[in-house]
Amino acid sequence: MSRARADEEEYWHSSKFRAFTFDDEDDELSQLKESKRAVNSLRDIVDDDDDDLERVSWSGEPVGSISWSIKETASGSTSSLEGRDSSLQKGSSSYAALPKQASSYSLSSLFKGEDHHIPYGQMALTDTGVKNYAPELRRPKAEYKDYSSDWSPRDTVRRMQRGKVCSLERFRSLQDKLVLLDEAVAGHDGNVITAVLIFLKRTLRREILFRELEVRQVALCHLIHFLRETGEQKLLLDLLRTDCFFTLSLQLSQYREHLNIQDVEKRREFLKGCIGLPFSAEDTSHVQDHYTLLERQIIIEANDRHLEMSGQSEIFRKYPRKASILNMPLVTTLFYSCFYHYTEAEGTFSSPTNLKKTFKIPDKQYVLTALAARAKLRAWNDVDALLTTKNWLGYTKKKAPIGFHRVVEMLQRNNAPVQVLQEYVRLVEDVETRLNLATKYKCHDVVIETYRDLKDRIQLTAYKCKVERGSAEEEKINSILNNMVRSAY
């Protein structure tokens, strides 16, 4: 019995397998568990929701992925890994005991999910997931705050217009992607439209993309231009063979036919028929305005030709027309209306205010055109009324959407009197610009008053040499200089 027990103890002590003990600090299994806990302690650095986060780049390649992060941090990855190794060695003595083995695979291939043979000794370190292996290679969570929120398509487009980085990967359904494209087109920003098209090209099947672009002609034109710039000839040829491109070409060629029609009535009828073509909403609006403008021009031309030939209108006798108004652009038509029909009521087709309201002409464009027309006629009272506004209390003030410095330059080109120029030079807010304009156009009173307000005796004395001796301007300067001397004492 004692012999058997002695043999059993000898067996256990002589075997390469050791019995389990609680005090075994050097057990290899405990080392692996300790190192696994050390690596998993870095889990909080990485957010689980950011795995699939990608950003849009203009070249169409995904940006923000793990492989991209590795490329971005390649220069500092070595130092960060060494820092992590040293910190883990200080925090855990058992981790320092693990031997470092040479790796036959790269981090990029590991993150891309490629299948490589991994030794059993390293399996315990890699089976916890990619993010736990090298979390420092990802960007901090705080850097994703600008594009990790659930933005709507409209908010996403607005942020992209402001240069913010936004993730488009959250738009997974076809409906959301089409709404995003429509919002980008409505924003009239070519860069944003191109970015959204790159995203759709990468995430939609070619047949679906071409089908949806058939009714979105603006986006279709942007895609064609993008494919030409990037040299994607195969995709471009496939697009050119589709019905959507032929539909767009047919519409444009049909619309261009109006240029070959000389008879104005036939051209008007032709444009009326073009309104029914399947253009986009924006293009349909342009064709409608073109037809309406030509219709107006026909009516105005017939009436003005009759007035000119009969000699009933004084303005046509004094300023005969040099050309017909037919087929002229909208701005030219507005100038013509402000020149010959400025005082007409809004109810007439030739009234400038009627044109402004019908074609939604901005205030800045209207004031600039009307000012040029009335200044050419030297109608200074009309210029004054055009730049005078009244508030709800009944007070009036001068206001120029184009800036008073441009008003002064336009009036001077039309040989406005010095008294008229001085009135608007005084309204220029910038002191330096006001002095330059007043000096250039010899508005002496404005120069003297400006130096007086600045209390600049030196400039006043110097400017005194530029005015005529014995003139009212010289007397005004002398009076101001005497008052400055008295106030100093």
Q: In this structure, are 456 and 414 located in the same domain?
A: no
Domain boundary among 241, 258, 288: 241
Is 253 domain-assigned?
A: no
Q: In this structure, are 435 and 449 located in the same domain?
A: no
Q: In this structure, are 450 and 472 located in the same domain?
A: yes
Is 212 domain-assigned?
A: yes
Give 290's contacts (C-beta < 8 A, 6+ positions apart): 271
Res 393: pLDDT: 79
Q: Into how many domains does the chain fold?
A: 3
H or E segment to which residue 334 belongs: helix 330-340
| 346 burial type by CB count under 10 A (0-12 exposed, 13-18 middle, 19+ buried) | exposed
The Cβ of residue 267 has, within 10 Å, a number of other Cβ atoms equal to 20
Q: In this structure, are 385 and 455 located in the same domain?
A: no
Q: What are phi and psi of 397, to 5 degrees?
A: -155, 160
| 86 burial type by CB count under 10 A (0-12 exposed, 13-18 middle, 19+ buried) | exposed
Q: In this structure, are 225 and 194 located in the same domain?
A: yes
Is 13 domain-assigned?
A: no
CA distance 456 to 459: 6
- Please tell me whether residue 51 adopts helix, strand or coil conformation: coil
Q: Is the dihedral of CA 329, 330, 333, 339 positive or negative?
A: negative
- Are 151 and 166 within 8 A, CB to CB? yes
Q: In this structure, are 157 and 237 located in the same domain?
A: yes
CA distance 224 to 210: 11
Amino acid at 86: S
Q: In this structure, are 477 and 413 located in the same domain?
A: no
Smallest CA-to-CA distance from 94 within 139, 36, 149, 147 is with 36
Q: In this structure, are 228 and 163 located in the same domain?
A: yes
Q: In this structure, are 457 and 484 located in the same domain?
A: yes
Digitized pLDDT (tens) for each residue of the chain, 489 residues in all: 555 666 666 665 555 555 545 444 445 555 555 555 655 554 444 444 444 444 544 444 455 544 444 444 444 444 444 444 444 444 444 444 444 444 444 434 433 444 444 443 344 344 444 444 444 445 554 444 444 457 788 888 888 888 888 888 888 889 889 999 999 999 888 889 999 999 998 898 888 888 888 778 788 888 888 888 888 877 877 776 676 666 666 667 667 777 788 889 999 988 888 887 777 778 888 889 999 999 999 999 999 999 999 888 889 999 999 889 999 999 999 999 999 999 998 889 999 999 999 999 999 999 999 999 999 999 999 999 999 988 777 788 889 999 999 999 999 999 999 999 999 999 999 999 999 999 999 899 999 999 998 888 889 889 888 888 888 888 888 888 888 777 665
Q: In this structure, are 162 and 222 located in the same domain?
A: yes
Is 450 domain-assigned?
A: yes
Domain boundary among 417, 440, 463: 440
Res 236: pLDDT: 75
Pair of tokens at residue 169 = 């990967």
Q: In this structure, are 457 and 394 located in the same domain?
A: no
Res 98: pLDDT: 42
Is 193 domain-assigned?
A: yes
Res 375: pLDDT: 94
Q: In this structure, are 431 and 417 located in the same domain?
A: yes
To which residue do tokens 């491109």 refer?
A: 245
Res 36: pLDDT: 55
Is 408 domain-assigned?
A: yes
Is 109 domain-assigned?
A: no
- Please tell me whether residue 388 adopts helix, strand or coil conformation: strand
Is 189 domain-assigned?
A: yes
Q: Which domain holds residue 451?
A: 443-488
